[in-house]
Structure 1
Amino acid sequence: MSIDHDRLFKELIQTFFEEFILLFFPTMHEHIDFRHLSFLSEELFTDVTAGEKYRVDLLVETKLKGEDGLVIVHIENQSYVQLSFPERMFIYFSRLYEKYRKPIVPIALFSYDTVRNEPSTFTLPFPFGQILHFQFFTIELRKKHWRNYIQQDNPIAAALLSKMGYTENERVEMKKQFLRMLVRMELDEAKQRLLFGFFETYVKLSDEEEQQLRSEVNEMEAKEKEQVMELMISYERKALEKGRKQGMKHIVQAIARKGIDVKEIAYMTELSEEEVKQLIEEV
Structure 2
Amino acid sequence: MTKASTDLDNPWKDVIELYFEDFMQFFFPKIHELIDWNQPCEFLDKELQKVVRDATMKKRLVDKLVKVWLKEDNTAQLLYIHIEIQGQKDENFAQRVFIYYYRLYDRYGPNVISLAILGDTQSDWRPKRYRYSLAGFEISCTFPIIKLLDYKKKWKSLEKSTNPFSIVVRTHLKALETRDSNQKRLYWKKKLFKALYEANYSEQEILELFRFLDWVMALPEELEKRFNDFSAQHEEEKGMPYVTSIERFGIQKGILEQARKSVVDALRIRFKRVPQSLVKMLQSIEDAKLLSDLLKQAILADSIKTFKQGLENK
1:160-216, Cα deviation, whole Å (9 max, x unpaired) = 433225643653453234323433444354x54442222212212454586489669
1 or 2, which has the higher strand percentage? 1
Q: Residue 84 and residue 268 in structure 1: after superposition, are their counterparts in 2 closer, same or farther (change >3 A)?
A: closer
Q: What is the deviation of 1:91? A: 1.2
Are residues 56 and 35 of structure 1, via their aligned partners in 2, closer, same or farther at CA, if it must alter by over 3 Å? same
In the superposition, the TM-score normalised over structure 2's length comes to 0.68
Choose from 256, 261, 264 the match for 2:267. 256
Q: Which residue of structure 1 aligns with residue 140 of structure 2? A: 133
More displaced 10-residue stretch of structure 1: 63-72 or 79-88: 63-72
Kindly report the root-mean-square deviation, in angstroms, between the aligned alpha carbons of the 2 structures: 3.9
Does residue 39 (structure 1) correspond to residue 43 (structure 2)? The answer is: yes
Change (3 A) 1:134 1:215: same
Task: Determine if contact 2:63/2:85 at 8 Å carries over to the other structure.
Answer: yes
Whole-angstrom distance in 1 between the partners of 2:116 and 2:57: 23
Equivalent residues of 1:159, 1:198 under 8 A apart: yes
| Equivalent in the alignment of 2:67 | 61
Residue identity over aligned pairs, in percent, reads 25
In structure 2, what is the Cα distance between the partners aligned to 1:123 and 1:73? 21
Q: Distance in 2 between matches of 1:141 and 1:266?
A: 48
8 Å contact from structure 2 (residues 67, 80) kept in 1: yes
> SS of the residue aligned with 2:260?
helix
Shift of 1:64: 2.8
Structure 1-normalised TM-score? Answer: 0.74
State whether structure 2 residue 30 is matched by structure 1 residue 27: yes
Alignment pair present for 1:198 and 2:198: no
Q: 1:196 corresponds to which letter in structure 2?
A: F
Please, which runs of 5 or more residues in structure 1 have no aligned partner?
none
Q: How does 1:97-246 map to 2 (within 5 A)?
A: 97-125=105-133, 131-145=138-152, 147-148=155-156, 149-164=158-173, 167-168=177-178, 170-183=184-197, 184-189=199-204, 192-206=206-220, 207-208=222-223, 211=226, 225-227=237-239, 230-246=241-257
Contact 1:57 1:75 in 2 (8 A): yes
* Contact 1:176-1:213 at 8 Å conserved across structures: no
1:269 aligns with 2:283: no
Distance, in Å, in 2 between the alignment partners of 1:177 and 1:102 is 45
Distance 1:256 1:30 in 2: 59
The number of residues matched between the two structures is: 265
Matched residues in 1 for 2:127 and 2:170: separation?
23
RCO higher in structure (CA 8 A, sep ≥6): 2
Deviations 1:238-278 (A, max 9, x none): 3422332233233222223224997xx97671479xxx99x
Give unmatched runs, 5+ long, in structure 2. Answer: 283-287, 296-306
SS of residue in 1 equivalent to 2:117: strand
**Which range moved further: 253-262 or 233-242?**
253-262
The answer to whether the Cα contact below 8 Å between 1:109 and 1:139 also exists between their aligned partners in 2 is: yes
